[in-house]
A and B are shown apart, each in its own frame.
Chain A
Amino acid sequence: MSRLEAKKPSLCKSEPLTNERVRATLCVLKGILTSSYGPSGRLKQLHNGLGGCVCTTSQSSALLSNLSVTHPILKILTTSVQNHVSCLSDCGLFTAILCCNLIENIQRIGLKPTTVIKLNKQLLSLCTSYLQSEFCGCRIRVDFSSTQTLLCLVRSIVASKPACMLTRQEIDHISALILRAFLLTIPENTKDRLILGESIIVPLKGQRVTDSTVLPGILVEMSEVQLMKILPIKKTDAFKVALFCASLSGDFPDTGEGTIVVNSGVSLENAVLDQLLNLGRQLVSDHVDLVICQKVVHPSLKQFLSTHHMIAIDRVGAALMEALSKVTGTQPIGSLGLISPSSYGSIKDLCTAKFGFKHFLHLLPNEATICSLLLCNRNDTAWDELKLTCQTALHVLQLTIKEPSVLLGGGCTETHLAAYIRHKTCNESESILKDDGCTQTELILLTDAFCSALESVAGSLEHDGGEILTDMKYGHFWTAQPESPSVVNWPDLLSRCGCGLYTSQEELRWSFLKSTHHSFAPQTCLPHEAVGSANNLTLDCFTAKLSGLQVAVDTANLILDLSYIIEDKN
């Protein structure tokens, strides 16, 4: 008997952003994000309150994937940031904070959404064209003849993740390892297209960070007992490999629904095992040296293979399969039927290695761009954070190969860009407004909202109440002790700008970032020699930051444009 229930009417809310609760939750979200930003950001403990594992983090990817937000407006925000992070790995917090700042600032000035969107787009295009232009004052071309810039870039990323719990030496060690791992993935001879390899992160928790290392090839973890069984490995010049993704455990294939009835004399298990042993015989006659299986290998088959001096490795897991197939130069075998001779691969060498308490079988490829990054950290939560950081850094390096530029980090790009935009709209307002139908006042109001949103992202780097300043020549970001006297000799109090490019000993004028509203033209065209001499710069990924800026402005536009939320209550 079916019962019919009347449908509930949909719920429609107008002007969602004016709602007090929405503003409050947005404020909480912004608070969580800004307090996590940067190298001295505060950490968040994420857990389910029921004894599940505790994740201590300050990274956007970990934070956002664990936050369960309910309100549609917050969902739009988190989804677009998560989307950005999944594509480009870096600058997630920057994007999210900038978006929150824009919404907050623009709401306050109370312009019509259509005007806001138009002008925001104008300002965004000013930003992107400046950042991509030749005379941009906060962008550095990457010089691939030395590792210096790349190392600075990696170090900036690693240093900005305090939950990794690394000391300075450890940051240097890990940064160098990441760069080495990345360089190992670049093929030596390329024809027309560069295809990068892969760095596999191998966990080794509980050890010292400085025990981490990079090895070419693949490490397959094995128990000591297993390893003792396959030793000694006979030496040949190359090992012929059969790589299986099908289970060799002797399971029955999925029989679907219904039952199968067999006679009591028939043993299906034995039938499957016979098939496996036939497969084993074929492997023997094909002179295979090494059998690698993603899933389980039946103990009897293992015994059979080892009596024929073959090494069988099972349960390597799905994550390693792609790399294994690259290293051996073959496709995984998916069936137990006849194997064509072409489906065997090979590796150059095979040896055993012990790191910490784990035993590994080390597969050395003939010529492939696969390496293993053996990553150690003292506790689980710090290890997880370090792993995410390494993945981000490796991805950023890939992006930098594609687009060989980096941006100045440490807040300098944001303040410099804001100063540039302020100056531009102040002096060239006619050309910006020419066919928009917006007034100059509207432009000035919005520019101020836009630029102070950018500046407060930079200001979020400071968590201990320090004063935030900017200089009137380069438009860079500086911090000073809290409650600094108003009349001081700034060069003595300040040391370096956020990115580390300039020192306070130059003839500069400073003003508090919150109070600067008179525009000045920040110096463009970064002199090449200035960049070359500085060796400890804080740098940001160009592609990720540029995209973050675009995503933030677009998402803010979308949210500001919302006039109704219609909720289906059924």
Chain B
Amino acid sequence: MVMACRVINKRRHVGLQQLSSFSGTGRTLLGPVKSSKFIIDEESHESMLISSIVRLLESLDLTSAVGQLLNEAVQTQNSTYKTGTSTLLLLVGAWSSAAEECLHLGVPISLIVSIMSEGLNSCIEEVVSLQVPIHNVFDHVDNTKTFSGLDTCSVNLCPFLQIPSDTGLLKEHDLKDVASPSLTIYNLSGIPVGSPKLFRPQAEVEANKNILQNPQILKKSLLADNHCRKSILIHSRHFNRPDSNQWINKPEGFLEQRGAATPHTYRCNDLVELEMGLSHGDHNSMKLVDEAVRLQYQNSSMQQGNCSVPFMFDISRIFTCCLPGVAETFSCVCPGYITVVSISNTTLIKELQNQPIRIILIEGDLTENYRHLGFNKAANINTLLESVKFQPDSSEERWTNNVLQVLIKFDVNLVLVQGNVSEYLIEKCIQSKRLVIGSVNNSVMQAFAEASGAVQVTYITQVNENCVGSGVCVNFWRSIPSDVIDRINIMTIMIKTEGINLVTVVLTSPLPAQMQAKEDRFWTCAYRLYYALKEQKVFLGGGAIEFLCLSHLQILAEQSLSKRNHVCSGWLHNTSSWLASSLTLYRSTVLKCLANGWHKYLSTLMYNTANYSSELGASTVIQQHLQNATDSGSPSSYILNEYSKLNSGIFNSGTSNKLEQIPSVYDNVTPKIEAWRRALDLVLLVLQTDSEIITGLGHTQINSQETEGFLFL
């Protein structure tokens, strides 16, 4: 075995460059308006339609060490939070460029690491001021106001939201590697253009136009700033900090203003508003999530009566059933379990429907040869057939008969199996009027166990009276017109029981290629709502927190320039090294680079929302806002002010009163912050790596690639 070692940090940091380039591939997937990608396999000519980072990385070749670390970070974020992966990927790119910039400027690596991580810490503390508490959103949930009713209004509601009709053409560069049919698919992708996230940049454009045209308006907006500042005083921890900088605690008048009752304290106590804010433009998916939550809420209040236990949104009790080839409009949400069974069951279902039947639940497979996990079958045992008693049955037949006998004995007509089911058994069961369904989701099993009283067993021989559940109904599910469903040659049935805590979301898509993406999008929305409700708080979204981070870092950088001697030794592990004393020297440089990363992220986000013809244009607008925010004295109040302008000014004009709270865009708190941390951790991990050690490679294997830069041991 030979081990090779490659120095990856000679002049240019290869690892950071790799991170940047990987990140570049996902650039168009950030934000509410995503441009889907086609990934084509050169060999098999198979293609995939991709609209999420996780699916993208699944199809990229990430065998390099850095690529694997990136994939690992994205996968962990996805498996933990199901959201924030595009933020993670984009920030990895932005910050690896930032770190590389620092290296070029000659900043010692240890200092980049400590200043960047403390800088992000400081940002995370700062954005607490933009948290919006969620209060009792379920108090008014029975009101007539529902998401679906609102959906249409909100799109009409924004007259200024003129997405250029040729969006597809504008984004041509994203589609350059795509064959011509893709353009149609892109247009069909059904991503609603009515994205609330778009409001902000649009409004900003308008505001900026005004400012440029008329200096008086600038003054007015600054006055409006003052008017709104009370809310910062309520939320901002920064304000209370003893070392807070000069301009935050400038005029004491603010504190008095705080006493005056003000209408702009941000809080969210309306479910629809919350969902709207978290939908990030994907209204279709969020509408389904809304219906699912409402069904769950109704179910739980029916179960508990007026019990005081607060309702918790249980995402594990939502199940998706995908029906490719059915028109989009048939997507819907129903209580109970909806699944697809083969047409051959038609007569059986007819006989079983409209009567309560008994059920058993099998974990594992229902086949003759299945044994529980951890059971080792001995290979060297032969069964001797006694020639005297001639047995015509095969062993499978005998086993099937045994199973049937058990089912008959306990009068069971429905068997839900987590794993596979023997085909022969299914046939036999159909003959004896019993329905067996395989590959049932774990949470579905759990829901049926709770509602019907059945206990999951591994083997059919374990079944006794205590394991059998009762009161289950099987029916045809015919919400989709039969002519549609017959065309795709499937049959859908609904299984439910009294009080079952299970909601099935039926997702349909005319294009099978989009099914996966649609399911992913549904779950993203569901998890966003889940975390928002779980944490009881959200961030003001649409780039607000990122903008605050950007301006906060710029201010920190300016400060450290002006206060050279300010000791911030707390930012370094090893206070005795010379690095501690030269920290102040580089602090402003590194913080600026980190801020540039936010800037890049924001301009990509704004560019993707199709309001700007180039990232440069978006960047200019951000720059102007940054200037305004710095001039205003408190960036967080500036942001809140911009938000309230959207609230009171633009949205209320010419719309009905009940919609006045709608326009906010929200982001999740912990998933977002963890995505930031993960991104920076990855960048800093790669930054600190100076060599790559490849074990177990022969000389020949490396020779075939590039021998340059390899050292052998």
Chain A residues packing against B (C-beta within 8 Å): 25, 28-29, 32, 35, 39-40, 42-51, 53-54, 56, 63, 66-71, 74, 159, 162-163, 165, 167-168, 171, 205-206, 208, 225, 228, 247, 249-252, 255, 257-265, 268, 295-296, 298-300, 303, 307, 314-315, 357, 378-382, 410, 462-467, 479-481, 493-500, 536, 538
Over the window 78-120 of chain B, the binary record of Cβ atoms lying under 8 Å from chain A Cβ atoms (1 yes, 0 no) is: 0110000000000000000000000000001111010001100
| Other-chain residue from B73, B121, B697 in contact with A167 (beta carbon distance below 8 A) | B121
A315 touches B3 (CB 8 A): no
Q: Chain A interface: which of B262-270, B374-382, B595-603? A: B374-382
Query: B383 at interface (Cβ–Cβ under 8 A)?
Result: yes
A296 touches B374 (CB 8 A): yes
Known: A208-B674, A260-B380, A495-B576. A315 touches B385 (CB 8 A): no
Collect the chain B residues with CB atoms within 8 Å of residue A466's CB: 577-579
A296 near B688 with CB under 8 A, answer no
What is the CB-to-nearest-CB distance from B381 to chain A, in angstroms, rounded to a whole number? 5
Q: A45-B691, A45-B692 are in contact. List 18 more A-B contacts (CB 8 A).
A: A42-B9, A44-B692, A44-B693, A47-B692, A56-B69, A159-B573, A206-B80, A251-B378, A261-B383, A263-B386, A264-B391, A295-B374, A296-B372, A298-B375, A315-B374, A378-B674, A464-B111, A499-B576
- Name A306's closest neighbour in chain B (CB-CB): B455
B712 touches A25 (CB 8 A): yes
The answer to whether B693 touches A381 (Cβ under 8 A) is no
Q: Does B260 contact A (CB under 8 A)?
A: no
| B494 at interface by CB-CB < 8 Å | no
Partner of A48, one of B376, B690, B695: B695
Chain A proximity of B89: nearest CB distance (Å): 14
Q: CA separation between A378 and B582, bound complex, in Å?
A: 30
Contact present for B385 and A264 (CB under 8 Å): yes
Instruction: Please determine whether B575 and A500 come into contact, CB atoms closer than 8 angstroms.
Output: yes
Question: Is B380 touching A410 in the complex (CB atoms < 8 A)?
Answer: no
Contact yes or no, A249 B678, CB < 8 A? no
Secondary structure of the A side of the interface? loop
Cβ–Cβ contact A70 & B1, under 8 A: yes
Distance in angstroms between the alpha carbons of A237 and B446 in the assembled complex = 32
How distant is A192 from chain B, measured CB to nearest CB, in Å?
42
Q: Which residues of A contact B183 (CB under 8 A)?
A: none
CA of A49 to CA of B711, assembled, Å = 15
Question: Which residues of B (1-44) have their CB < 8 Å from a CB of A?
Answer: 1-3, 5, 8-9, 15
Known contacts A28-B713, A67-B713; A296 and B696 CB within 8 A of each other: no
The stretch among B198-206, B228-236, B458-466, B498-506 that forms the contact with chain A is B458-466
A-B contact pairs, 29 of them (CB 8 A): A32-B5, A44-B689, A44-B692, A45-B15, A46-B695, A47-B68, A48-B695, A49-B695, A49-B696, A49-B697, A63-B693, A68-B695, A69-B713, A70-B713, A168-B570, A208-B677, A260-B380, A262-B382, A262-B383, A296-B373, A299-B372, A307-B466, A378-B681, A379-B76, A381-B685, A479-B576, A480-B578, A481-B582, A493-B578
Q: Which of B560-604 contact A (CB under 8 A)?
A: 570-582
| B681, B682, B691, B713 — most chain A CB neighbours (10 Å) | B713
Q: Name B residues whose Cβ lies closer than 8 Å to a Cβ of A.
A: 1-3, 5, 8-9, 15, 63, 65-66, 68-69, 72-73, 76, 79-80, 108-111, 113, 117-118, 121, 372-376, 378, 380-386, 391, 442, 446, 456-459, 461-462, 466, 570-582, 674, 677-678, 681-682, 684-685, 688-697, 701, 711-713
A419 CB to closest chain B CB, in angstroms? Answer: 18
A162 to B380, CA, bound (A): 54
A32–B121 CA distance with the chains assembled, in angstroms:
32
Q: Min CB distance, B672 to chain A, in Å?
A: 14
Closest-CB distance, B129 to chain A (whole angstroms): 21
CB-CB under 8 A from B63, the residues of chain A are 50-51
A39 and B462 contacting across the interface, CB-CB below 8 Å: no
Bound complex: CA of A44 vs CA of B382, how far in Å? Answer: 54
The CA-CA distance from A248 to B6 in the complex, in Å, is: 50
A140 CB to closest chain B CB, in angstroms?
16
Known contacts: A42-B689, A206-B79. The answer to whether A538 contacts B576 by CB under 8 A is yes
Q: Bound complex: CA of A32 vs CA of B682, how far in Å?
A: 22
Residue of B nearest to A484 (CB): B578
In the assembled complex, which residues on chain B have CB atoms less than 8 Å from the CB atom of A410? 574, 576
Least distance between A508 CB and chain B CB atoms (Å): 14
**8 shortest A-B CB distances, which residue pairs?**
A296-B374, A299-B458, A464-B108, A42-B690, A496-B576, A40-B110, A49-B694, A68-B1
Of B3, B386, B576, B691, which one neighbours A35 at CB under 8 angstroms? Answer: B691
CB-CB under 8 A from A493, the residues of chain B are 578, 581
Check B446–A228 contact: CB distance below 8 A: yes
Q: Which residue of B lies closest to A536 (CB)?
A: B575
Contacts of A495 in B (CB 8 A): 575-576, 578, 580-581
With A480-B578, A493-B581: A225-B446 Cβ-Cβ less than 8 Å: yes
Structural contact, A496 and B575, CB atoms closer than 8 A:
yes
| Neighbouring B residues of A295 by C-beta, 8 Å | 374
Set of chain A residues within 8 Å of B446, measured between Cβ atoms: 225, 228
**In the complex, which residue of chain A has the Cβ closest to the Cβ of B580?**
A495
Is A43 touching B5 in the complex (CB atoms < 8 A)? no
Nearest CB of B to A66, in Å: 6
Q: Is the CB of B65 within 8 A of A47?
A: yes
Q: A165-B684, A464-B109 are in contact. Are A35 and B696 (CB under 8 A)?
A: no
User: What is the chain A residue whose CB lies nearest that of B61?
Assistant: A51
* Complex contact A44–B385 (CB within 8 A): no
In Å, the complex CA distance between A381 and B681 comes to 11
Cα-based distance from A255 to B577 in the complex (angstroms):
66
Instruction: Decide: A379 near B574, CB < 8 A? Known: A40-B579, A44-B689, A70-B2.
Output: no
B453 to chain A, nearest CB (A): 14
CA distance A263 to B674 in the complex (A): 62
A568 CA to B111 CA in the complex, in Å? 51
